[in-house]
Structure 1
Amino acid sequence: MRRPARWITPACIASTLLLLPTAGQAAKPAAGSADAAVQRGLEWLVAARGGPPGAIATLHRDGRTTVLRAGRADARRPGAPRASDHMRIASIAKAFSGAVALHLVQEGQLGLDDTIGARLPSLPAAWAAVTIRQLLNHTSGLPDYTRSDAFAEQAARNPRGYVPPTGIIDWVRRDGLVFRPGSRYEYSNTDNIVVGLIAEAVTGRSYPVLLDEIVFGPAGLRETSFPTRTLSLPAPFLHGYVVQPRSPPQDVTSFLSPSGAWASGAIVSTPSELGRFIRNDLGLTFFGAEQQREQLRFVRGSSSPPGPGANAAGLAIFRYTTRCGTVYGHTGNFPGYVQWAAASADGSRSVTTSLNIPAPRGALLRRLRAVQTTAVCALLGR
Structure 2
Amino acid sequence: MPSRTAPRRRPRLRHVCVAAGLAAAACLTTLQPAGAATADGDRDLHRRLDRLVATPGGPPGVIAVLRDEKGSRVLRSGTADLATGRPPGADDHMRVASVAKAYSGAVALSLVDRGVLGLDDTLRDRLPRLPAAWGKVTLRQLLNHTSGLPDYTEAPGFIAAVTADPHHHFDSRRLLDYVAGDPLRFRPGSSYRYSNSDNIAVALMAEQATGSPYERLLRSLVYRPLALRDTSLPQGYRLPSPYLHGYDVTPPAAPEDISEVLSASGVWASGGIVSTPADLNRFVRPYAGGALFGDRTVREQRRWREGASEPAGPGRNEAGLALFRYTTRCGVVLGHTGNFPGYTQFAAATPDGRRAITFSITTQTNKTQKPELLRQLRAVQEDFVCALLRRKA
TM > 0.5 fold call:
yes
1:145 is aligned to 2:152: yes
The amino acid of 2:327's aligned partner reads T
Tell me what 1:368 maps to.
377
The partner residue of 1:255 within 249, 261, 282 is 261
Which stretches of structure 1, 4 residues or longer, exceed 2 Å deviation after superposition? Answer: 1-11, 16-22, 35-38, 282-286
Superposed displacement of residue 241, structure 1: 0.6
Shift of 1:77: 1.8
How far residue 155 of structure 1 moved from its aligned partner, in angstroms, is 1.3
For 1:171 and 1:364, how far apart are their aligned partners in 2? 32
Q: Is the 8 A contact 2:111 2:117 kept in 1?
A: yes
Q: Distance in 2 between matches of 1:3 and 1:263?
A: 14
2:91 equivalent to 1:84: yes
Separation (CA, whole Å) in 1 of partners of 2:29 and 2:373:
18
> 1:78-120: per-residue Cα shift (whole Å, max 9, x none)?
2211111000001001001001111111111111011110111
**Superposition deviation, residue 283 in structure 1:** 3.4
Deviates more, 1:282-291 or 1:113-122: 282-291
Mapped partners of 1:142, 1:362: distance in 2? 26
Match of 1:20 in 2: 32
Superposed displacement of residue 255, structure 1: 0.6
Does residue 1:156 correspond to 2:171, yes or no?
A: no
CA shift for structure 1 position 10:
8.5
Range with bigger deviation, 314-323 or 60-69: 60-69
CA 1:18/1:378 → structure 2, altered by over 3 Å: closer, same or farther? closer
Q: How many residues align?
A: 372
C-alpha contact 1:117 1:127 (8 A) present in aligned 2:
yes
Does the 8 A contact of 1:93 with 1:266 survive in 2?
yes
Correspondence 1:69 to 2:88? no
Decide whether the 8 Å contact of 1:2 with 1:333 is kept in 2: no
User: Does the C-alpha gap of structure 1 residues 9 and 296 become closer, same or farther in structure 2, counting only changes over 3 Å?
Assistant: closer
Asked whether 1:340 is paired with 2:346, we answer yes
Provide the C-alpha distance between the structure 1 equivalents of 2:23 and 2:328, rounded to a whole number of angstroms.
Answer: 34
* AA partner of residue 2 (structure 1): V
**In structure 1, distance between residues paired with 2:58 and 2:29:** 11
Aligned pairs for 1:6-45 within 5 A: 7-8=23-24, 18-22=30-34, 25=35, 27-31=36-40, 33=41, 35-45=42-52
Partner of 1:49: 56
Structure 1 residue 17: Cα displacement: 6.0
Q: Any gaps of 5 or more consecutive residues in structure 1?
A: none
1:327 and 1:343 in contact (8 A); partners too: yes
2:208 match: 201
In structure 2, C-alpha distance between the alignment counterparts of 1:227 and 1:285, rounded to whole Å: 26
Question: Cα distance 1:143–1:249, how it changes in 2: closer, same or farther (>3 A)?
Answer: same
Distance apart, 1:2 and its partner CA: 2.3
SS at the partner of 1:58?
Answer: strand
SS for the counterpart of 1:259 is: helix
| 1:282 match | 288
Partner of 1:235: 241
The CA deviation string for residues 215-260 of structure 1, in whole angstroms up to 9 with x for no partner, is 00000000111111x3211111000111011111111111110001
Contact 1:218 1:285 in 2 (8 A): no
Paired residue for 1:380? 389
Distance 1:302 1:5, change over 3 A: closer
> Partner amino acid for 2:77?
A
- Give TM-score scaled by structure 2 length: 0.91
Question: Which ranges of structure 2 fall in alignment gaps of 5 or more residues?
Answer: 1-16
The Cα offsets for residues 281-331 of structure 1, whole Å up to 9 and x where unpaired, read as 033442211101000101100000000000000000000000000000000
Instruction: Give the aligned CA root-mean-square deviation in angstroms.
Output: 1.8
CA contact (8 A) 1:100 1:286 kept: no
Deviation digits for residues 123-163 of structure 1 (CA, Å, limit 9, x no counterpart): 11111000000000000000011111112111101110111
Does residue 330 of the first structure (1) align with residue 336 of the second (2)? yes
Check 1:352–1:115 CA distance in 2 against 1; reply closer, same or farther (3 A cut): same
Give the SS at the match of 1:171: helix
Report the equivalent of 2:321: 315
